[in-house]
Structure 1
Amino acid sequence: MAKFLMLCTTFAACLALAAADWSQGTATFYGGNDGSGTMGGACGYDNLYNAGYGVLNAALSQTLFNDGASCGQCYTITCDTSNSLWCKQGNTVTVSATNLCPPNYALPNGGWCGPGRPHFDMSQPAFEHIGVAQAGIVPILYQRVQCSRTGGVRFSFAGNNYFLLVNIQNLGGSGSVGAAWVKGDNTGWIQMSRNWGANWQALAGLCGQGLSFAVTSTGGQYIQFLNVIPYWWQFGMAFPTNQNFYY
């Protein structure tokens, strides 16, 4: 009997832990029924198909977006059937964070994306996995999860001759960048800093040099991408790699 009670207690604790992994929030949708209106956005990914994210994406409220540090992270979302009749019961969808849903201060408390609100403005195709579009907004349960990506990390270039701006895309594992460095053929490792969204900058003139990158994911995994960019790279070009993160 004691063993049975202990097992029951352990099982109950596990259930409580699993339940605690889910947080409450709300979700709306934008971008049209093909998701084309979600391209671009505050992470700087531009064409989400080219960048590896596709149509199952979401703009995060200010609270979740974290000034762009959450760009690329993945969240599994389900409609909270206990609080809405507009849910598709038992369905979940995993989305990538690709944009910011800013507060609208014309509405009380900044609207659904106002300060302190965990809200996902999802692509319409993603929203329709879990809820009926006519609802407009549904209560949800969500949790951050590991990202599964196809192919390797991708580096997309912008800037000028004295300023390098690199959008770091398609991260697996934790999905987001915690730190980054760049190295030219004629330089040592140069620490980069986040400029905006998933764009990382180096105040250095690196044109005409082959480049290597080093990236630490927010999950703590460190990868060196050695000699992945040829010396003939130009601003506006993007280069895929064959390495990716698993945490």
Structure 2
Amino acid sequence: MPQLEVDGAALTYDDEGPRDGDGVPLVFVHGWTADRHRWDHQVAHFAEKRRVIRLDLRGHGESSGAGVRTIAELAKDVLALLDHLEVERFVLIGHSMGGMISQTIALSHPERVERMVLVDSISRMTYSRGRGLLMGVSTLVPFKLFVAANIQRAFAPGYPREKVRECVRASAGTPREVVMTLYGAMRAFDVLDRVGEIRTPVLLIHGYHDIQLPVKQMLRMAMAYPDAVVRIIDAGHELPLEKPAELTAAVDSFVTAHA
């Protein structure tokens, strides 16, 4: 797989599909403790007709590197890759933390983002005092237990247990420093008061049973966007794994409608 050296990290990425395909390239950004293969279903579909780019974020999957402290620093990595590939304008599709990265890019470089899809993502984490205390305490338990607790609750009831266990194992392979630092970065992320500046069309697609980043928080974000379409799917937080075909169809419809 090709790699790009960026500030002490080797970023692994895929660049697929025809360069002269339909529309600008699609850029897929995965979430916390995941990797670029979260998007396998979508990439297989879209790469037949247009250029598709995805990467393993710093410290995730097959990319090396650590030391990243903020969502903005991850956004710089994504932009560095796109500059390297000479991609000036693109569509961003981000899941969870990847949606936070996407919003950061849309705010800092609005002229480059043609449109954006946020999958199970929000602009600000809000929770009760009790929930906040519970989240803080959760960081004190053994690392594998912390990861397992967070990943298991990401899926809607009824999702196959073996597939959940596979996801837990993969997530636990992410370096502890990366996992814990970015957990804090997500809790600190807050652009809700700025999303009104994002004028590009946005699709907000969310799992109804998402308890990681609840639907009501996404709807609060949707109210702040000038041009947003909302789609709710019967799934949990891991839409790319739980309902890949429905997610692909929703993204395809949105991208085609705004082409």
TM interval, short-chain normalised: under 0.3
TM-score, with structure 2 as normaliser: 0.26
Higher helix proportion (structure 1 or 2): 2
Higher strand proportion (structure 1 or 2): 1
Whose Rg is larger? Answer: 1
TM-score, with structure 1 as normaliser: 0.27
